[in-house]
A and B are shown apart, each in its own frame.
Chain A
Amino acid sequence: MAIHSEPLISVARPRRRAVTLAGWLDRATVFSWLMMAPPILFLLALVGYPLAYGVLLSLQDRIVAQPGVFVGLQNFAKDSQDPVFWRVVINTFVYTGVATVLKMVGGLGLALAMNQHFRFKNIIRALLLLPFIVPTVLSTVAFMWMLDPAFSVINRVLIQFGVPRPGPSWLGNPILAMVSIIAINTWRGLPFYGITLLAGLQTVPTELYEAATIDGASGWQRFRYVTLPLLQPIILIVTLFSVIFTFADFQLVYVLTHGGPQNATNLLATYAFDIGMGSGQLGLGASVALTMLPALALLIVAITLYLKKKS
C-alpha cells in the first residue's frame, strides 16, 4: 500500500480500532443496516409478502374460507373473456386520463392565480387546500347529496336557469355518472397540484421575468418560454404521482356510484373489490387487481429513473 507516501490520507482515515462489539456496531454499513432492519422487515412482511401472495392467489381458484386449487393463468383468461372487465379497463383509463389533464390545467391556473400579491393570501391558501385534507369519503357524501336524484341543489339552480324539470340524472345516466366522478376527483386533487406548482413558481427567479420583459416578451411569452420550462420537472413528478393514485382510486367510486349504473363507473379497484370481497372469489379478484400492475410498474419505473437522474 502507498500509505507512507501519502501521509495526509492516513491521517484523515479513522484509526482502525480493536474489533469490539461497540466498534463493530459503529461501522457505517453495520449501523445502517441494523437501523433499517426493523422497518425493512415490517415492509417485507406486510407489503412484500402480500404482493407475492397476491400473485400466487391470482393463479388459484380460491373461494373464501376454502383451500385454493392451482389453475395457472385461467383467472386471467377468464378476465380477458369478460366484457365487464374490458369495460372496467376502459373506464379506468378514461377516468385517470381526463381527471389528470383537468387537475394539471386547473392546478396550473390555481398556482398562477395564487402567485400574485393580495391580502389574506395565507388564509386563502389554507382554505383552498381543504378539499385535499378532508376525508374523501365525507366530502364524497356531500357531493352525493348535491347530486341527489330528487333534491339535487345543482339541479334546482339549473332549473332556475331554464333547464327542464327534473334536471339531469347525474348518477343515473352512464355518461353523466362518469362526468360526476371525474369532476369530484378533480375537485379533490386540484389543490395538491395547485399548491405544489405554486411552490415551484416561487422558486423561479424574478430576474428571469425582468430580463424577458426587457427583451420585449409579452405576458403569454413569459409564461410559455420562462415559466413552463422551469416548472416542467415539478409538473412531471406531480403528474406521475397523481396518475398512480387516480388509477388505483377506490373510495370515491365505491361511495358515490358503487360502479354503476351498469358498470359505467366501475374501475379496476372497485371491480376487484366486488369480485374478491363481494362474491368471495379471492383468486379471480386478485387477478383483476394484478392487471393494474403493468401500467403501474411502468409509471413507477419512470419516476424512479427520473429521481435517479435528478440525484
Chain B
Amino acid sequence: MITGYGPIQRTVRVWLPVLFFLFLALLPFYWMAITSIKPNSELYSMRSNPLLVHAPTLKHYIDLLGTTNFLLWTWNTMVVAVISTAISLALGIMLAYPLARINFPGAGLMAIAVASVYLVPQPLLFIPLADVINRLDLGNTLTAVILTYPTMLVPFCAWLLLGYFKTVPMELEEAARIDGASRFQTMRRIFLPLCTPGFISAGIFAFTLAQNEFLYALIFLTKTSVRTVPVGVISELIKGDVFYWGQLMAAALLGSVPVAIIYSFFVEHYVAGLTSGAVKG
C-alpha cells in the first residue's frame, strides 16, 4: 500500500505510532509483573532503579496463594462467570432467534427494546436491586450475582447474536420447513448448529464481562467466602498503610491471567463480536 518510501521513512511512519500505542497499552502490565517479583527491600527503596529488578523473588505469590483467600475467590469468580454466561447465552438465543429469523408483528419494536435494556447502566439499578436481593434473602450467596449478572448479559448476548443470526442464509431453514419440520425443530436441528462461531463470540464476551463485574459483587458479597476476585482484592488485600504492593500486583496479574488466556485462544471471535455490533449494526 505504501510505496516510494525508504526503509527509514517506512520505519518511522509505520512502526513509531504502533510502538507508541503498544508501549502505552502494556506499561501497566510490565509494572504489575516487575512489582510482583521484587523483594520488599527493593520495592520501597528510593535508590535502586525502579524499572528493573535485581533479586527476583516469588515470595509475594507464595504469600498470596498461601495466606489469603485468593484461590477461593478465583473459584467463585469462575463459577459465577460460567453459570451466568450459560444462562445469558440460552436466554439470549431465545430472544434473538425469533427477532432475527421470523416475521411477526412487534419484532422491530422488541429489537429496539432489547437494545435499550442493554444500555440501562448498573448504577441506575443497584439501589433497588440491593433491596430486592435482601428481600429474597440472597445476600452473601453466589446466587445473588448469578441472577443479576444476566440482567446486563442477556440483552448484550441477544444483541450480538441478533446481528450474527441475520448473516446466516435462509435457504436451509426454508428447505427444512418445506420438508415438514416444525419451527422448533428447524431452529434446534438446522439453525443453531450453524451458529457456533456466533455463540463463541458472545460467550467469550459475556464471560469477560462477568469476570470484570464489580458493583453488584461489591454490594451483594460482603463475606470473604463468597467474594469474587475484584471485590476480594479491593476489600481484603488493600490494608491501610501497610506495605502490600508486591502481593497486590501479584493478585492483579494472576486475576488477569484467566481472562487473558481465554481471550488469546479466541481473539478473532472476540474482535468479530466487538466490531459486529458497530459495523453491521
Contact = CB atoms under 8 A, between A and B. Distances in A.
What secondary structure prevails in chain A residues at the interface with B? helix
B98 interface: yes
Interface string A19-60: 000100110110111011011101100110111011001000
A259 interface: no
A168 interface: no
Interface string A200-241: 100100100000000000000000000000000010011001
Interface residues of A, number: 101
Interface string B242-257: 0001001101100110
Nearest to A39: B91
Contacts of B277: 237, 241
A225 B198 CA distance: 35
Interface in A270-311: 272-273, 276-277, 282, 285-286, 289-290, 292-293, 296, 299-300, 303-304, 307-308, 310-311
Interface residues of B, number: 97
Given A32-B102, A35-B98, A142-B249, A124 B214 contact: no
B124 A51 contact: yes
Contacts of B155: 43
Nearest to B272: A199
Interface stretch (A77-85, A111-119, A171-179): A111-119
A170 to B, nearest CB: 14
Contacts of B130: 276-277, 282
A65 to B, nearest CB: 8
B119 A300 contact: yes
A171 to B, nearest CB: 14
Interface of A: 22, 25-26, 28-29, 31-33, 35-36, 38-40, 42-43, 46-47, 49-51, 53-54, 57, 109-110, 112-114, 116-118, 122, 124-131, 133-139, 141-143, 145-146, 148, 151, 153, 156-157, 187, 191-192, 194-196, 199-200, 203, 206, 234, 237-238, 241, 244-245, 247-248, 250-251, 254-255, 268-269, 272-273, 276-277, 282, 285-286, 289-290, 292-293, 296, 299-300, 303-304, 307-308, 310-311
Given A250-B122, A255-B234, 11 more contacts: A39-B92, A46-B150, A57-B131, A117-B14, A127-B25, A130-B26, A141-B234, A196-B275, A199-B275, A200-B279, A296-B120
